Amino acid sequence: MIDVRALRENPEPARASQRARGADVDLVDRIIEADVERRTALQEFESLRSQQKDVSRLVGKASPEDRPAVLAQAKELADQVKAAEARSNEAASEADRLARLLPNLIVDGVPTGGEDDYVVLRHEGPKVRDFVAEGFEPADHLALGERLGAIDVKRGAKVSGSRFYYLTGVGARLELALMTMAMDQAVAAGFVPMMTPTLVTPAIMGGTGFLNEHSDEIYYLPADDLYLTGTSEVALAGYHADEILDLSAGAKRYLGWSTCYRREAGSAGKDTRGIIRVHQFNKVEMFSYCRPEDAQEEHQRFLHWEEEMLAKVELPYRVIDTAAGDLGTSAARKFDCEAWLPTQERWMEVTSTSNCTTFQSRRLGIRERREDGQMYPVATLNGTLATTRWIVAILENHQQADGSVRIPEALRPYLGNVEVFEPVN
């Protein structure tokens, strides 16, 4: 949630952010108007309640002759206070509802525009392979996975429906190796590892900013009033909800390992082959609570740690600065790393890291008490360190002409020092 007081004092940054996102600029003025109504209604309620208290004190002091009139006045004020309180609560509820509709304000430097208006910051990693020069046509990740006995989508669909799968044999081992390598790297960098809940309450899901126009992507269990998480970011953001943190020694960093669930309701027909876009996957996610003035530097650290992992799996990739209109509700800026996908000749997102500034902490009641004794909201950041989708890029980029797949050197200790996955089918 945004700081309504700051919005009231200077609404132009919010208007500019909305314009850059291609979102509703008028929402800013509606929030300000609703806040005025909220404060006016609250003042009316408090004034009437003060009058009611004064009259109530007079009841016991009134003479027998005056008491009926005083009691009548007290009753009338009680009715007025009750009505004023209802109006105040209604105005407060409406002001809060509108404030929660406003996405986070983007930070300076974020590209303006939509999904296709990202800015490529740089290309990294090994050179993209020329399979024509190597003399063979590359197989896609599903064909490779089936030959290696690593991926079974047919039985996944039989058991659970489309966009489900089994990772089998070396596929299961490869995912575990990736996730474990990511955890080892994060622990070495000072992160606290966590196995997080994958079911959360509406308060936590909404507090992180996910219950918005994309809420149809989230699995909901109405009998329990719980949501399945699409990222451990949600549970990690909720970990310190309604708490006061001590950040005097620096950021608090956590690493969440969890299974993630996404309905992919808005992606019909996209990446339906294989395991690129699926309903269930595993992910290792970095999360940080830090002081707002340190957030941009922390964001660069997260990007560095993601690139460190990508270097270990020897993938060609590019880093993009996501345009404002393609940011999630809670993100003020987001960097994506996209690996090269040879068989589709395109870049595919494998990591992203978002700076959410104080947006989530305001909604979740997470604050810090500073040296001056005052309370301040903290900044939150998140970033993917490894996920199931990486298997797609690893298989395709490291395949060999005989259908085998070379294992990146850094991964080998996590796979019993195996250097090559050989076909079994």
Radius of gyration of the chain (CA): 27
CB 297 within 8 A of CB 251: no
Which of 288, 330, 352, 361 is catalytic? The answer is 352
- What's the token pair of residue 366? 């997470």
Told to judge if 15 belongs to the known catalytic residues of this protein, a careful annotator would answer no
How many residues belong to the chain?
Answer: 425
Which of 147, 163, 262, 367 is catalytic? The answer is 262
Residues 6+ apart with CB under 8 A from 235: 196, 197, 198, 200, 204, 229, 256, 258
Cα atoms found within 13 Å of the Cα of residue 375, Cβ hemisphere only: 10
CA distance 123 to 116: 18
Question: Strand (E) positions, 132-224?
Answer: 151-152, 166-167, 192-195, 199-200, 220-221
Told to judge if 277 belongs to the known catalytic residues of this protein, a careful annotator would answer yes
CB 205 within 8 A of CB 231: no
Told to judge if 291 belongs to the known catalytic residues of this protein, a careful annotator would answer no
- Burial (0-12, 13-18, 19+ Cβ within 10 Å), 335: buried
- What's the token pair of residue 192? 């606290």
- What's the token pair of residue 269? 């027909």
What is the residue whose two structure tokens read 């929402």? 27
- Burial (0-12, 13-18, 19+ Cβ within 10 Å), 224: exposed
Q: What angle do CA 300, 304, 310 make, to 5 degrees?
A: 145
Bridging pattern class, strands 199-200 and 226-228 = antiparallel
Which of 277, 369, 406, 412 is catalytic? The answer is 277
* Residue 380: Cβ within 10 Å count: 28
DSSP 355: E
CA distance 283 to 175: 10
CB 354 within 8 A of CB 334: yes
Which of 37, 124, 217, 349 is catalytic? The answer is 349
Q: What angle do CA 23, 109, 21 make, to 5 degrees?
A: 5
Told to judge if 389 belongs to the known catalytic residues of this protein, a careful annotator would answer yes
* Residue 277: Cβ within 10 Å count: 15
Residues 6+ apart with CB under 8 A from 193: 183, 186, 187, 254, 255, 257
Residues 6+ apart with CB under 8 A from 12: none
Which of the residues are catalytic? Answer: 262, 277, 349, 352, 389
